[in-house]
Structure 1
Amino acid sequence: MLPLHRAGALRDSSTFPCLNRGSVRSALYLSLSLTLLWCPGGTVASNLNCHKTCICASNIVSCSKLNLTLVPTGLPLYTAVLDLSYNDITRLKADWTAVKLTKLHNLLLSHNGLHFLSSEAFIYVKYLRYLDLSSNNLRQLDEFIFEPLGQLEVLLLYNNRISQIDRSAFHGLHSLQKLYLSQNLISRFPLELVRDKSRLEKLSLMDVSSNRIKIPPIEDLQVLPAWIKNGLYFHNNPLICDCTLYSLLAQWHIRRLNSALDFKDEYTCNLPGQQKAVVGVFDLNEEYMNCSTFYEADEEAWLEQTLILRCDTRHRDMVKTWVTPRNVVVAEEANQTPRVLPDGSLLISHVKPEDSGTYTCFAVSEALNETLYVMVKVHNFTENGGGETLNTAYTTLVGCLASVVLVLIYLYLTPCRCFCCPKKIHEDSIHSSMLSAAPSHEDLAHKTDPRHVAFIDPRELREGQNGKVNLGGGTRKDVDEEGGLLGKGKRKRSVAESISSVFSDTPIVV
């Protein structure tokens, strides 16, 4: 009978020529029919040979660097680690393994030139925890491609040519913790993997560095928990320079997050406009865009407000303990005004001025201890107090303006007090001084200075005896007794009947 292959041939190649129908006659018809079932496309997968081809060490099977084009058949059911890296396996079909490998948890397929993944490629290896598909020629990730891998924890897809990722490609990866997508052609930031309601709950590291992302979703990244941002890498992308980008990474650096701390010098961006220069993101506040230097903001609150302080640690599932500004430990079950919530945040209801100060959160885990400080500033008014203050100021201003208007009206538009005075007297009184001090009757009787008399006709002034004013040639006594005409003109009315000054009840003589 014609031998099917030579001993040891699998050491150099994983395939052998299929039998030709013309070279085998009736004696080999049955053998040929069975052989053709294993020779689709002109090649056949080789049987696993742990002695001459692969290396088998207990439950580890290593078939690396053997120029394999297909996965060997006959893999032991106890295989836990299967290494097929550095071969020529370009297509991973649904039937690459005919049996369920329930104990297989590590599968390595890197450096194979792999460009096709069947939608059913992983249905027989549902218990994988580590899958390495790096350094291949994958161009897209179809929908639900990894859905059977519900226990997968680490997925390596870096150094491929991936440009399209379906939004449901990673659906079903409920246990995934680390995802490596760097060194691809990705232009869209896969925000759905880390955003609330759609994110992978256990994902703590996602590397999308060295891709083609220009504008990351900065506002969405700012609100992520610190333990997610700590493992979110997007350096070495053609980012567009922006002050919000600087503020985001500056905050991460202040918080000592690994994603910004470890690759600080590799976060670069392209200046907008015609400059087209590549500069460091952390230099935008100094030389290029004059971005404001970032400072950690304090928490502000108003009276009677409910305030929640978050202990935003770099690692999740840490035991958190809060200490108030007065060095009082907040117990979880104690009946205190500050209360610890199930997620480790501190709730302060009905905020009072004495709640101001620095709150300390001590976070402890088996691998890390972390301390966070939160400064709280309580304003001494309610949240709507600013509007009340504005209304009070407005009312005061209106009151001041009204007072000024009333004073001006009182000074310049006060009507004559003597409503029964003749029209002549009223007209003359308008020209009198309102601000000068008004002389008394006695002063007018003894003083001769005409400046103390308002608007007296000079023709009517004549000096009499003893330096007193003599009207119309007669003495004051004659004028008073006769009460009529003196000289050429009429005698004016009594001083007591003249108009009064605004600031005094003493009459002014006219």
Structure 2
Amino acid sequence: MLPPHRAGALPKPSPSASPSASPSPSPSPSLRRVQVQWALYLSLSLALLWFPSGAVASTLNCHKTCICASNIVSCSKMNLTTVPTGLPLYTAVLDLSYNDISRLRAEWTTVKLTKLHNLLLSHNGLHFLSSEAFVYVKHLRYLDLSSNDLRQLDEFIFQPLGQLEVLLLYNNLISQIDRSAFQGLHSLQKLYLSQNMISRFPLELVKDKTRLEKLTLMDVSSNRIKVPPIEELQVLPAWIKNGLYFHNNPLICDCSLYSLLAHWHIRKLNSALDFKDEYSCYLPGSQKIRVGVFDLNRDYMNCSTFYEADEEAWLEQTLILRCDTKHRDLSKTWVMPGDVVVTEGLNQTAKVLPDGSLQIGPVKPEDSGTYTCYAVSEALNETLYVLVKVYNFTENGNGEALNTAYTTLVGCLTSVVLVLIYLYLTPCRCFCCPKKNHEDSIHSSMLSAAPSHEDLVNNTDPRHVAFIDPKELGHGLNGKVNPNDGVGDQGEMDEEGGLLGKGRRKKSVAESISSVFSDTPIVV
């Protein structure tokens, strides 16, 4: 009995087999080719099963994948994960919105699309942009990357797009923007960055020397900006401030913020006029109370009401009036007080500068008044009024007048001090002088006086003049001599003479003393 064969093993031919049995013939070459083709087909089919639909770059099909209308290719809402290949070279508008293209690689197109000027990639979940993604589409003028998952903008990411005019980046997750991300966008006019997570105001885009020269609108509203650069924003031209939107941010309340927006509102700038109610801020403190910025001057922080400041000047000063319009490239004409149009060539103290400003100088008092700037173009017109006040003195003369007033005041104060010293600190108060004896009388103070020539002629008798020092007199009432002093003894001697004689004696003494204080010298 023969042993059983192993499972799956073919039985070997028995040597005792019939000689008529022969080996099977080898397959023909045509059969081999068919087998190889089927093997390749099965391998490709199995490989495709591992990838989701659309992962492999598909060839453009204007009947199934996209809609082609002349130079417009629309592939919107086609569940694409990559950009179709084989795009026509004449494509001007390419719409890839509402798909699943999460990464825009450098090789998304291998040919230069020199006529492509509109590229739409919104609503794709896009989270990666290659640094070379726009190398082959340098002539783009409109790029829509809104409503995606972009988180940062790397350096020089948009540098190849020198002709781009509109860039939409709103409704993303952008929190970091490199300062050189927008470098090279020399033609950019409108930039939309709202509804992101930006906390730093991109001042380099609007600041002098680094600004994008043609940028007229920048929207950074609905972000996380708390403290905008107020001082830098105040000095920007009006045509930039007119399109600078930063409402609906968690701003911190401050009177400088109120003054900035109040000024914009008075100038009727669109950024403050159109979204006045959406400018809000948080009051300082732990309660985080949110209020309107335009209410800070009334109900909350008592900020000073803002008014347009007039231009002030002094005599012989040169003044420059700026026609700060909301729009660029307008033709400007100035009219001086008295409806005098400033024209070139006339012998006037005012002339229009190349940037449209008016230079006046040297100014005089009659130059005061309202100056009007008319700015017009084919579709726009704007009028600005500037009130000028010229003081009737020079700037240095004002300082000299102040010095003169100060000198006069010091002189007056010095005079008052000297008068007080004279009244209350007289030289008579000499505490170091020796006191005279009380026995000194009027007779001890008698001085011999040389007689005059006239007296010598008329009379040869010598005469003496006596002066009495007030200190040596008795202390009476307010410096007056008491008539009773010095006559006590004499009064006792005259007691027997009666009251009449006593009264006469006192009267004569009083008269003699009063004569001492008269202007007439006493002659003895």
TM value normalised by structure 2: 0.76
Matching residue of 1:359:
371
Matching residue of 2:481:
455
Q: Structure 1, residues 9-52: CA drift from partner, whole Å, max 9, x if none?
A: xxxxxxxxxxxxxx9964589999999xx999884211111223
2:101 is the alignment partner of 1:119: no
Deviation at 1:353, TM superposition (A): 1.6
Distance 1:374 1:508 in 2: 85
Matching residue of 2:158:
146
Distance 1:324 1:467 in 2: 102
Instruction: Pick the aligned partner of 1:59 from 39, 58, 71.
Output: 71
Distance 1:255 1:117 in 2: 41
Deviates more, 1:362-371 or 1:158-167: 362-371
2:362 is the alignment partner of 1:320: no
Change in CA separation of 1:25 and 1:231 when aligned onto 2, cut-off 3 Å: farther
Deviation at 1:332, TM superposition (A): 3.8
Give the match's secondary structure for 2:277: helix
2:90 is the alignment partner of 1:48: no
Q: Is the 8 A contact 1:425 1:499 kept in 2?
A: no
Distance 1:349 1:281 in 2: 40
Instruction: Pick the aligned partner of 2:409 from 384, 394, 397.
Output: 397
Distance 1:455 1:206 in 2: 100
Amino acid at match of 1:104: L
Amino acid at match of 1:57: A
Distance 2:217 2:313 in 1: 34
Change in CA separation of 1:352 and 1:77 when aligned onto 2, cut-off 3 Å: same
Deviation at 1:381, TM superposition (A): 2.3
Q: Is the 8 A contact 1:157 1:182 kept in 2?
A: yes
Distance 1:196 1:432 in 2: 92
Identity among equivalent pairs (%): 75
Distance 1:106 1:346 in 2: 42
Q: Is the 8 A contact 1:94 1:118 kept in 2?
A: yes
Q: Structure 1, residues 118-171: CA drift from partner, whole Å, max 9, x if none?
A: 000001000000000000000000000000000000000000000000000000
2:279 is the alignment partner of 1:237: no
Distance 1:30 1:160 in 2: 44
Amino acid at match of 2:152: Q
Matching residue of 2:288:
276
Unaligned runs of 5+ residues in structure 2 are: 1-32, 430-443, 448-465
Task: Select the structure of larger CA radius of gyration.
Answer: 2
Distance 1:151 1:492 in 2: 119
Distance 2:206 2:35 in 1: 64
2:122 is the alignment partner of 1:110: yes
Amino acid at match of 1:127: H
2:250 is the alignment partner of 1:224: no
Instruction: Pick the aligned partner of 1:428 from 465, 470, 479.
Output: 470
Unaligned runs of 5+ residues in structure 1 are: 1-22, 434-449, 477-490
Distance 1:25 1:351 in 2: 102
Equivalenced residues, count:
446
Q: Is the 8 A contact 1:228 1:314 kept in 2?
A: yes
Amino acid at match of 1:75: L
2:172 is the alignment partner of 1:160: yes
Distance 2:472 2:93 in 1: 115
Distance 2:420 2:502 in 1: 40
Distance 2:167 2:294 in 1: 31
Change in CA separation of 1:154 and 1:33 when aligned onto 2, cut-off 3 Å: farther
Deviation at 1:379, TM superposition (A): 2.1
Q: Is the 8 A contact 1:499 1:508 kept in 2?
A: no
Distance 1:145 1:421 in 2: 114
Q: Structure 1, residues 203-255: CA drift from partner, whole Å, max 9, x if none?
A: 00000000000000011000000000000000010001111111111111111
How do 1:70-149 and structure 2 match up within 5 A?
70-149=82-161
Deviation at 1:340, TM superposition (A): 0.7
2:418 is the alignment partner of 1:376: no
Q: Is the 8 A contact 2:474 2:482 kept in 1?
A: no
Amino acid at match of 1:338: A
Change in CA separation of 1:181 and 1:425 when aligned onto 2, cut-off 3 Å: same
2:378 is the alignment partner of 1:336: no
Give the match's secondary structure for 2:395: coil
How do 1:250-269 and structure 2 match up within 5 A?
250-269=262-281
Q: Structure 1, residues 360-387: CA drift from partner, whole Å, max 9, x if none?
A: 1111012211111111122222223443
Distance 1:136 1:453 in 2: 107
Matching residue of 2:203:
191
Deviates more, 1:48-57 or 1:222-231: 48-57
TM value normalised by structure 1: 0.78
Q: Is the 8 A contact 2:372 2:385 kept in 1?
A: yes
Matching residue of 1:309:
321
Change in CA separation of 1:61 and 1:507 when aligned onto 2, cut-off 3 Å: farther
Give the match's secondary structure for 1:221: helix
Q: Is the 8 A contact 2:198 2:225 kept in 1?
A: yes
Matching residue of 1:485:
none
Amino acid at match of 1:117: L
Q: Structure 1, residues 339-360: CA drift from partner, whole Å, max 9, x if none?
A: 1111101111222222211111
Give the match's secondary structure for 1:72: coil
Distance 1:110 1:410 in 2: 95
Distance 1:31 1:60 in 2: 36
Distance 1:221 1:212 in 2: 18
Change in CA separation of 1:467 and 1:180 when aligned onto 2, cut-off 3 Å: farther
Q: Structure 1, residues 53-85: CA drift from partner, whole Å, max 9, x if none?
A: 211111111111111111111111111111111
Distance 1:453 1:33 in 2: 141
